[in-house]
Amino acid sequence: MENYFKTRRSVRRYSGKPVPTEMLTEMLVEASQAPTTGNMQLYSVVVTRSDHGKTALAPAHFNQPAVTGCDTLLTFCADYNRFVKWCRASNAVPGYDNFQSFMTAVLDTVIVAQQFCTIAEMRGLGTCYMGTTTYNAPMIGQILGLPELVVPVVTVTLGWPEGEAPLSDRLAPEAFVHIEKYNNPDESRVKEFYAAKEARDDSRRFVAENGKETLAQVFTDVRYTRAACEEFSRIYYDYISSKGFKFPVD
């Protein structure tokens, strides 16, 4: 059990063996016992199992092969739609069209998504998060028919693993654990935190393949550029606002 957590890995390649529908439902029910703010369950999960559904969503995830190659794609959405309708049907006046409520729903959504992944992985299934959901939320929302106060937050691919996925390296705990106060490290100390990562063969290969000088440059110049981050900031921000969560602006 402990071993599972230490060696957990993301799975991007899946065998064609189907995940039984009953098993999927059971796992979603178990996941819903995860913590949720005030027991409001401010999320929805849209389950995509059809080939045409996965094909339609693939471009939103930049055609990562796991999207069409998985058994099931799960789009976890921050959802105040249901809760607000319940309020309206109960003679209660909701005030959840704001940034704080959006954030609360995001927390609920990610908590249940991660609980679902753990449950699935402990049953031998493989999962992988698609980091593209907050980039292309408008496209995803349109395909899935998301109404007001529903915003996609994370997408998970699910299926039986094909082959063994690699184990990712992680920073040592001194890099991310702080005792009592934030121990604000200087650049040279931070550089030490990343020394082992930079020395890895796969990191060096990554730098060479991308024609860069340093591993960090692969992130800033190739994978997560300022231009892309700023463009997707605008798109996600506008989309969230368009779905009814108003941002506080003077």
d(CA 108, CA 78): 8
Under rule CB under 8 A, which residues in 149-168 are in contact with a copy of itself?
Answer: 150, 153-154, 168
Which amino acid is it at 47? Answer: V
The interface region with a copy of itself, picked from 12-20, 63-71, 119-127, 157-165 by CB under 8 A, is 119-127
Which of these ranges, 12-20, 25-33, 61-69, 158-166, lies near a copy of itself under the rule CB under 8 A? Answer: 25-33
Per-residue tokens: 195: 């020394």
Regarding 103 and contact with a copy of itself (CB under 8 A), the answer is yes
* Rounded CA Rg of the chain: 20
- Count the neighbouring beta carbons within 10 Å of the beta carbon of residue 106: 20
Half-sphere exposure of 206 (CA within 13 A, CB side): 16
Find residue 127's DSSP bridge partners: 158
Which of 54, 56, 43 lies closest to 14 in space, CA to CA? 54
Q: How far is the CB of 98 from a copy of itself (least distance, A)?
A: 4
List the one residue from 16, 22, 51, 93 that touches a copy of itself (CB under 8 A). Answer: 93
Per CB under 8 A, the segment of 12-20, 62-70, 139-147, 158-166 that binds a copy of itself is 139-147
> Which residue of 87, 160, 162, 210 would you call a contact of a copy of itself, by CB under 8 A?
87
Looking at the Cβ atoms of 17 and 191, the one nearer to a copy of itself is: 191
Of 35, 9, 15, 44, residue with least CA distance to 161 = 15
Interface positions, 174-233, toward a copy of itself (CB under 8 A)? 175-182, 184-188, 190-191, 193-194, 213-217, 219-221, 223-227, 229-230, 232-233
Q: Which is nearer to a copy of itself, 69 or 94 (CB)?
A: 94
CA neighbor of 234 nearest in space, from 110, 137, 155: 137
What length does the chain have? 250
| Residue 131 Cβ vs a copy of itself, minimum distance, rounded to whole Å | 5
**For a copy of itself, which residue of 20, 55, 171, 205 counts as binding (CB under 8 A)?**
171
| Torsion from C-alpha of 220, 226, 231, 236, nearest 10 degrees | 70
Q: How far is CA 71 from the centre of its chain?
A: 18
Select the residue interacting with a copy of itself from 16, 22, 95, 164 (CB under 8 A).
Answer: 95
CB of 95 to a copy of itself, least distance (A): 2
